[in-house]
Amino acid sequence: MDFHSIQQRDCLVRVVQADPEPLLVILPTGDGKSLLFLVPASLPGARITVVIVPYVGLKDDLVAKAQAASLHSAVFTTSLQEPVPLIFASTEHMLENGGLLHYLRLMSERGQLEHIVIDACHVVLTDMSYRAAPLQRFKRLVEFKCQLLLLTATLPLTEEPQFVNTMGLTSEMRLQTMRCATGWPNLHCRVLGIPRAVGRNCDILGPPLMNLLRERAILALGERGIILCLFVHDLEVYQSMIHRNGALCYQPQIYHSKLGESLRSNTLAKWLDIGGWILATKGLGVGIDVPKLRMVIHMSFGQQDTLMEYSQQVGRAAWDGISGFCYCLHVHEDPESMSTALTPGSEALSNYLYATACRRQTLGAYLDSEAAICGAGDSPCDFCDDTLSWGLTPP
Ligand SMILES: [Zn+2]
């Protein structure tokens, strides 16, 4: 079997051995995290592996992978009473009476439970909805007699103690951590700070976005790009500007949570099928592998946004190892007018946006505590690319 990294191979050994200690695995997007539960579930005599996923899109993606590998798997329902080697469940299933926790207890008592896997486990820190009721259920998962496997693409070293505490992991449980550097050598990181002017952010950032799309955001057939915005209103403003300016030769679709489930999943499916650009709020297909994603453009950030979430969003443009671009267009505020009440994550994002030297260094220092600048063979950031001239003059 070919492995993406030594860490991936070592993790798999520990999972197959079903070590009693909980295992926290930080591997970059696309570095084969799902292999860590697909392989053990495929072994003869495998007991039950339950994979809990925070997002519906991610669950569908994993179910498809299990089916492609011809694994005996099921999506959890409250009517499930029998053991299945691989079960996919969502965090909502933990809230149901007689739901997932009941099933886990039953299987644990019968000695049939082997692993509980929490995929994209960083959401307990980044997603507000996980800080309320479901979180208390996460803490109950450590009580079951099986290996707890916590998977994520991004968990900065500085955030690890808070994560451990949030998950209810005590020092007696002897958590083991496997960490692989998550910086992406194939990702061009670029930030365009537009000086604050009178007007709404979308009016200030619209013209440079049109220039960026016309001059640099060229996708080949089947490739994908995302323009991520804070508000639904901004999506509509930019969609209309793109149409008026002819910045793209077609009208990109819009994706946001208010579309309704059916329209949302149709829009996502169409984009995944055809490719091209999509305008979206930040929940777009979080956690799923988007093939041929080459560009991610962030239009502004909110006070709650963090460098950890940002790196999750742009990492998807790098997971296949092919050159990708991430652009941030943001309104460059006067430093004296900026909020001083920043959380560590949002302060790290601010440091990245307002950096005066290599972006890779800022990103690496926060995510992996490895502050290396762009080197030979890396896709250079805007500071390290000598050939880069923005040329994005407002029309
Ligand atoms: Zn650099």
Would you state the structure tokens that stand for residue 159, as one six-digit string?
A: 């955030």
How far is the C-alpha of 237 from the C-alpha of 246, rounded, in Å? 14
CA distances from 315 to 79, 187, 275 (A): 37, 8, 18
CA of 334 to the centre of ligand 1 (A): 24
Q: Which residue has the higher pLDDT, 31 or 5?
A: 5
The per-residue pLDDT for 394 is 37
- Residue 288 pLDDT level (bands cut at 50, 70, 90): low
- DSSP letters spanning 34-51: THHHHHHHHSTT--EEEE
CA distances from 365 to 14, 18, 175, 189 (A): 28, 33, 24, 15
- At residue 360, the 3 state secondary structure works out as helix
Would you state the structure tokens that stand for residue 20, as one six-digit string?
A: 């009693």
Percent of the chain with pLDDT over 70: 90
CA of 327 to the centre of ligand 1 (A): 14
CA of 222 to the centre of ligand 1 (A): 29
Give the best-scoring range by mean pLDDT among 23-37, 51-65, 73-87, 133-147.
Answer: 73-87
pLDDT at 77 > cutoff 80: yes
Q: What is the pTM of this model?
A: 0.80
- Residue 393 pLDDT level (bands cut at 50, 70, 90): very low
CA of 124 to the centre of ligand 1 (A): 31
pLDDT, average across residues 363-383? 87
**Sign of the alpha-carbon torsion through 136, 182, 318, 205:** positive
Q: pLDDT of 18-32, one tens digit each?
A: 778 899 999 877 667
Q: pLDDT of 90-101, one tens digit each?
A: 877 877 777 888
Rg (CA), the chain: 22
Top CATH class of 187-367 equals alpha beta
Q: Which residues partner with 51 through β-bridges?
A: 88, 117
Long-range contacts, 17-21 (Cβ 8 Å, 24+): 18/114, 18/115, 18/146, 18/147, 19/147, 19/176, 20/147, 21/147, 21/173, 21/174, 21/175, 21/176
Q: pLDDT of 165-184, one tens digit each?
A: 888 888 888 899 988 877 77
3-state class percentages of the chain: helix first, strand second, coil last, to nearest 5: 40, 20, 45
Residue ranges per domain, the chain?
6-179, 187-367
CA of 362 to the centre of ligand 1 (A): 9
CA of 381 to the centre of ligand 1 (A): 4
Query: Over the chain, what is the mean pLDDT?
Result: 85
- At residue 181, the 3 state secondary structure works out as coil
Q: pLDDT of 136-149, one tens digit each?
A: 667 778 788 889 99
Q: Which DSSP symbol is given to 245?
A: H
Q: 367, 381, 384: which is closest to 29 by C-alpha?
A: 367
Q: Does CATH place domain 6-179 in 3.10.620.30?
A: no
Contact 36, 11 (CB under 8 A): yes
CA of 375 to the centre of ligand 1 (A): 8
Long-range contacts, 70-74 (Cβ 8 Å, 24+): 71/38, 71/41, 71/42, 73/41
Contact 259, 230 (CB under 8 A): no
